[in-house]
């Protein structure tokens, strides 16, 4: 009798298989019991929210999952990492708040058990933004928080570095590529330090190259891992604002650092502050907003501390009124560049806000 793979082996196979889209791999990963032993029931793919061909691909992996998992774990070990799956106790509980959590993570280091805060911002950061990110990273790590960021140049690197300078500081770097890729170049030493005092993680196999669409996918992990996100600097339509929006959708806190009104990199934080994000003037403001410190000895705290629900998304509003539409039709109707639109469609699909139909067409969930 053919031996069926364990849940863990199948999750690793889903994670590593290049024939599965990222949303399909995640959807199949959270629904193993619904399809791994099921027959070809009509409507199953629709119920799972995946294309029929992607469900078929998942089933094709079943007899090969054990071998695929062993090979994937060997590749992870070569990159100095290990694989943590949804079936493992070590899998971060916070990521289970995502509708489509990744079936597996590549992890180099040890994931901190401490509550976490994300600090994000521009790659081309001003000296002011770098100083603030380093200061917040250092002080919040010293207060016992794990500092999460995206391992990019600029604000991300400053936040990681600040956390590492605190006694016992812990930090987590979430990558938009595989752990075996030297990206960004020049960060190898920082990566080794992070792995020694926290962890580097990725939901992509070790040899995965950085591509633009992977970074919004990476951002949802940053948002989910942290109790709140602090935006230090960000131009309009930047990845940092994507992280802030995803944090709102997950009911996390959103905070922002004010900057010079003449700087483009201040427009993002100022937009968030205008919409109700908590003002950060000092690390104590972050601790207070996250419910980890009292306001005693501080100036007046921002009212409420959390941003209001995001405004209606024009893309979702259009799909709700017009029904399923193609990416090209949506790009024309919204006067949005197709590359930007495809990124937003992926974000919404991963967040469970819309579904992809054959064509491809996109429609609202429900």
pLDDT at 274 over 70: yes
Q: Check: CB of residue 126 under 8 Å from CB of residue 152.
A: no
The winner for highest mean pLDDT among 17-21, 110-114, 199-203, 244-248 is: 199-203
Angle, helices 267-274 vs 239-249, to 10°: value is: 20
Task: Identify the pLDDT of residue 2.
Answer: 56
pLDDT, one tens digit per residue, over 123-147 is 999 999 999 999 999 999 999 999 9
Task: Identify the pLDDT of residue 303.
Answer: 39
pLDDT, one tens digit per residue, over 160-208 is 999 999 999 999 999 999 999 999 998 999 999 999 999 999 999 999 9
pLDDT at 223 over 80: yes
CATH domain 314-364 topology: Arc Repressor Mutant, subunit A (1.10.10)
Task: Identify the pLDDT of residue 40.
Answer: 64
pLDDT at 365 over 80: no
- Count other C-beta atoms under 10 Å from residue 53's C-beta: 13
Task: Identify the pLDDT of residue 167.
Answer: 92
Identify which has the larger pLDDT, 366 or 21.
21
Looking up tokens 């999750």 gives: 11
Q: Phi and psi for 29 in degrees, rounded to 5? A: -65, -35
What mean pLDDT, rounded, does the chain reach? 89
Task: Identify the pLDDT of residue 276.
Answer: 93
pLDDT, one tens digit per residue, over 71-86 is 999 999 999 999 999 9
CATH of 116-289, picked from 3.40.50.2000, 3.20.20.70, 3.40.50.450, 3.90.1150.10, is 3.40.50.450
Furthest CA-CA distance within the chain? 70
Q: Check: CB of residue 360 under 8 Å from CB of residue 21.
A: no
Q: What residue spans define the domains of the chain? A: 7-109, 116-289, 314-364
What is the spatial distance between Cα 202 and Cα 91, in angstroms, rounded to a whole number?
12
**Cα distances (angstroms) measured from residue 125 to each of 79, 107, 128, 262, 282:** 30, 28, 8, 14, 19
Nearest to 9 by CA among 79, 80, 61, 76: 61
Identify which has the larger pLDDT, 210 or 320.
210
Listed range (124-133, 218-227, 242-251, 308-317) with the worst mean pLDDT: 308-317
Task: Identify the pLDDT of residue 238.
Answer: 86
pLDDT at 353 over 90: no
Structure tokens at 265: 């990199």
What are the strands, taking DSSP E only, across the chain? 82-85, 104-109, 116-121, 146-149, 170-174, 198-202, 228-233, 253-256, 278-279, 354-357, 361-364
Q: Check: CB of residue 217 under 8 Å from CB of residue 188.
A: no
Nearest to 197 by CA among 119, 134, 114: 114
pLDDT band at 366 (very low <50, low <70, confident <90, very high): low
pLDDT, one tens digit per residue, over 275-316 is 999 999 999 999 999 998 644 434 333 334 444 334 467 888
pLDDT band at 120 (very low <50, low <70, confident <90, very high): very high
pLDDT at 42 over 80: no
The counts of H helices and E strands in the chain are 16, 11
Task: Identify the pLDDT of residue 358.
Answer: 80
What contacts 24+ positions apart, CB below 8 Å, involve 123-127? 123/152, 123/153, 123/154, 123/155, 123/156, 124/153, 124/154, 124/265, 125/154, 125/155, 125/158, 125/232, 125/233, 125/265, 126/233, 126/259, 126/263, 126/265
pLDDT band at 339 (very low <50, low <70, confident <90, very high): confident
Identify which has the larger pLDDT, 350 or 84.
84
Looking up tokens 């994937």 gives: 72
Task: Identify the pLDDT of residue 300.
Answer: 35
| Beta partners for residue 253, in sequence order | 228
Task: Identify the pLDDT of residue 268.
Answer: 92
């Amino acid at each position: 009798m053919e031996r069926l793979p364990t849940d863990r082996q199948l999750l690793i196979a889903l994670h590593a298989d290049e024939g599965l889209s990222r949303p399909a791999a995640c959807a199949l990963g959270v629904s193993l019991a619904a399809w791994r032993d099921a027959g070809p029931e009509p409507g199953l793919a629709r119920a799972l929210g995946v294309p029929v061909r992607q469900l078929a691909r998942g089933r094709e992996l079943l007899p090969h999952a054990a071998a695929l998992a062993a090979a994937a774990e060997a590749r992870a070990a070569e990159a100095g990492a290990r694989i943590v799956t949804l079936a493992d106790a070590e899998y971060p509980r916070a990521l289970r708040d995502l509708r489509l959590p990744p079936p597996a993570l590549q992890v180099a280091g040890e994931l901190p058990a401490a509550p976490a805060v994300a600090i994000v911002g521009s790659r081309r950061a001003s000296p002011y933004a770098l100083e603030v990110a380093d200061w917040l990273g250092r002080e919040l790590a010293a207060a016992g928080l794990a500092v999460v960021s995206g391992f990019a140049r600029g604000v991300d690197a400053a936040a990681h570095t600040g956390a590492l300078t605190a006694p016992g500081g812990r930090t987590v770097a979430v990558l938009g590529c595989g752990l075996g890729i030297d990206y960004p170049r020049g960060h190898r030493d920082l990566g080794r330090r992070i792995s020694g005092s926290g962890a580097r993680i990725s939901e992509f196999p070790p040899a995965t190259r950085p591509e633009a669409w992977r970074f919004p996918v990476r951002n949802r992990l940053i948002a989910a891992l942290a109790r709140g996100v602090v935006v230090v600097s960000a131009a309009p339509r930047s990845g940092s604002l994507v992280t802030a929006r995803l944090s709102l959708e997950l009911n996390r806190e959103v905070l922002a650092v004010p900057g010079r009104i003449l700087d483009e990199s201040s427009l993002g934080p100022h937009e968030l502050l205008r919409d109700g994000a908590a003002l950060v003037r000092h690390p104590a403001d972050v601790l207070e907003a996250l419910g980890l410190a009292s306001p005693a000895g501080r100036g007046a705290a921002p009212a409420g501390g959390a941003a209001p629900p995001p405004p209606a998304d024009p893309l979702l509003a259009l799909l709700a009124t017009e029904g399923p539409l193609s990416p090209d039709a949506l790009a024309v109707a919204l006067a949005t560049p197709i590359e930007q639109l495809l990124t937003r469609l992926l974000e919404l699909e991963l967040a469970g806000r819309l579904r992809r139909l054959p064509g491809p067409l996109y429609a609202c969930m429900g």
